Copies of this chain bind each other. A is one copy, B any other.
Amino acid sequence: MTPKLKIFIVDDHNLFREGLLFLLSNSNLEADIYEAENGEQFLDKFQLINPDIILMDIEMPVINGITATYEALKINPELKIIALSMYGNENYYTEMIDAGAKGFLLKNSKFDDVRNAILDVYSGKNYFSPEILDGIIKNLNKKKYKKANYNLSEREVEILYNICKGLSNHEIADNLFISKRTVDKHRENILLKTQSKNTAELVVYAIKNKIFEV
């Protein structure tokens, strides 16, 4: 059904590799399996093999999964790397996504999930264990939580935005065709309302409240 895949398992635990190999060969996935014990071995071998899917452990001796992923993708950006992580180490996910992993599996997943991850990533999608996905979504939520409870007027927001752009009061005045003295007053009011005591705090406030985007 699916073409014969070349799957590369990078993990320092022999038993884990063997188990996964067994599961893969007893599944209906046609695959050749290659192995490495750590990131260094993998980096030495992957170019000869050119695997379709790489299952990459994160915590490994010599060269860890994050570095290995990063380095391998520098050489071949098309590589499809799925991170493998112990439960509890799921916080590595940002670093692995950063490094360029296309998927993230927890080691306590069912084999069916592994299968799905392999097929999804092979077909160009991303795959993330539900627990990881949950974390990602929660994270997105968290950051947006405190928004829009400032009581600045429209004009004040406009002034603040321009302050963040690095304009001086004089420049802002020119841009908005008002007097510099007016901008002074607005700025003063904004400082009061936001309980800031200088420009630095104003900018931090603006960014926190999504008035200015970094």
Residue A9 lies at the interface, judged by CB distance under 8 Å to chain B: no
Across the interface, do B203 and A200 meet the contact criterion of CB distance under 8 Å? yes
Q: Which residues of A pack against B, CB within 8 Å?
A: 94, 97-98, 100, 120, 125-126, 128, 130, 133-134, 136-137, 140-141, 144, 163-168, 196-204, 207-208, 212, 214
Sample (7) of A-B pairs whose CB atoms are under 8 Å apart: A120-B130, A125-B134, A164-B200, A165-B200, A166-B204, A204-B212, A208-B214
Query: Can you tell how many copies of this chain the complex includes?
Result: 2
A198 partner residues in chain B, CB cutoff 8 A:
166, 168, 199
Across the interface, do B208 and A141 meet the contact criterion of CB distance under 8 Å? no
A198-B199, A199-B200 known; A133-B126 Cβ under 8 A:
yes
Closest to A208 in B: B214
State the Cβ distance, A175 to closest chain B Cβ, in Å.
Answer: 15
State the Cβ distance, A171 to closest chain B Cβ, in Å.
Answer: 10
A204 partner residues in chain B, CB cutoff 8 A:
164, 166, 203, 207, 212, 214
State the Cβ distance, A157 to closest chain B Cβ, in Å.
Answer: 15
Provide the bound-state CA to CA distance between A46 and B176, in Å: 48
A196 partner residues in chain B, CB cutoff 8 A:
166
State the Cβ distance, A53 to closest chain B Cβ, in Å.
Answer: 17
A100 partner residues in chain B, CB cutoff 8 A:
141
State the Cβ distance, A206 to closest chain B Cβ, in Å.
Answer: 9
A98 partner residues in chain B, CB cutoff 8 A:
140-141, 144
A203 partner residues in chain B, CB cutoff 8 A:
199-200, 203-204
Across the interface, do B130 and A134 meet the contact criterion of CB distance under 8 Å? no
Provide the bound-state CA to CA distance between A208 and B198, in Å: 20
State the Cβ distance, A97 to closest chain B Cβ, in Å.
Answer: 5
Provide the bound-state CA to CA distance between A200 and B200, in Å: 6
Closest to A207 in B: B214
Within the complex, which residue of B126, B130, B163 is in contact with A137, where a contact is CB–CB below 8 Å? Answer: B126
